[in-house]
Structure 1
Amino acid sequence: MRRRAWWLLGLLACMSLSPAQDASTIYRCTDASGEVTIQNGTPCPAGSRQEIRRVEALPTRPAPPPAPLVVAEEPAWTPPPLSDFQQVAGPADESIDAPPRPDLPRAARIAEDARLPPPPIYQCETWDNDSYVSEDPSPGPRCVRLDTGGTGQACENKYDTCARIGQRAECEGWKRRQREIESSWRHARGADRPALQEEFARVTRILTDSTCALPP
């Protein structure tokens, strides 16, 4: 029991020490009734049995300095090494089955030996001595109004006569067909324009994809 009391005495002494003290005196006081009190730095009252214990202060260590702030530096960017390129075609290879250049017009991208002559085209004469070109060798009749002297309305069917244009003049015939469709398209009403525009584009493709696009 005595050892336990002195152990508590030492613990209280350590807790009560201030940073400026090097040692502390602990008083163990026992009064007449046998009650024990522990006093730090204060002697026991008169009439009490007093035991003194001097406790040395533990040396204190200074706080460690703060760790230096280390800023991680990102490594400098290094461009990736250049790839090894191998030339597979050049100016000298253009004569050996070189693919067509994509920036050339449609007519130039088609090989000359793959072009075909344009389809047949016909020049037609009307009953009133007008002419036009057509892809149809037998166009339908025209109902020409007749003069009935005011007794009613009547018309007579008139047929156009058409003949195929020769091969040497076929391209010129198709170009004329293109111009006629373009003229009709530009003077057509709004509802008729889309169909004429599609027909104009179709005839234009025939000219650009056939032998008509080759130089004379």
Structure 2
Amino acid sequence: MRRHLITAAALLLAVPAAAQQTIVIYHCTDAGGAVTVQNDAPCPAGTTQRTREIDPPPPLPAYVPMAPPPEPAASTLVPLAPLTAGERPPDDPAAVAARAIDLRSLPPPPLYQCVTYDQNRYFTADAEPQSRCQPMQTVGIGGLQGLGAGAACIRVVDTCAPVPEQALCEAWRARLDEAEFRLKFARGHYDTRARRDEYAALERTLDASTCAGVGDR
């Protein structure tokens, strides 16, 4: 089995800035139609290979907690009475067309790059960093490790930063590749169904934005 695949963005963030290079993602399709996504080596002989190069995202800045929103001011507006059927003007087709929003003219939703205490990196749409239980070293009687010393952990928060707007399309495609990998290696009916729903939702979001048709998935 191929070693665990990581996304291009995660691999890029794991190396020093001076050594960061363009990452090549290989999409390999075998004779049976099975697709493998990898970034460590070209596709093996006998498979169809497609490649995509991605640029390194900028390094993560330090996480700064968001300030709470200000309290809304009390409204002094008096609501208007609704128009009756006779008073309501008909919709002008030209005005309706002008008000219609083409979803593909909008950028994709924001994403955040996060890193855990053990240096695992991931993308998320949640602006609130996750907290995790980092194991602590425990010792038994006499200061020896193990020997029924028990276990303990400390709560730590992931470090997250927003993905720059110019890197959003690549980040969303990398997130879709991650979901595709999880779907291919899902176990059991319920896990497969959940992974399929996750992949479909991410694909719809990407296709309904300015990222649709940009680059090769």
What TM bracket, shorter-length normalisation? Answer: 0.3 to 0.5
State TM-score, norm by structure 2: 0.44
Larger Rg: 1
Higher relative contact order (CA 8 A, sep 6+): 2
State TM-score, norm by structure 1: 0.45
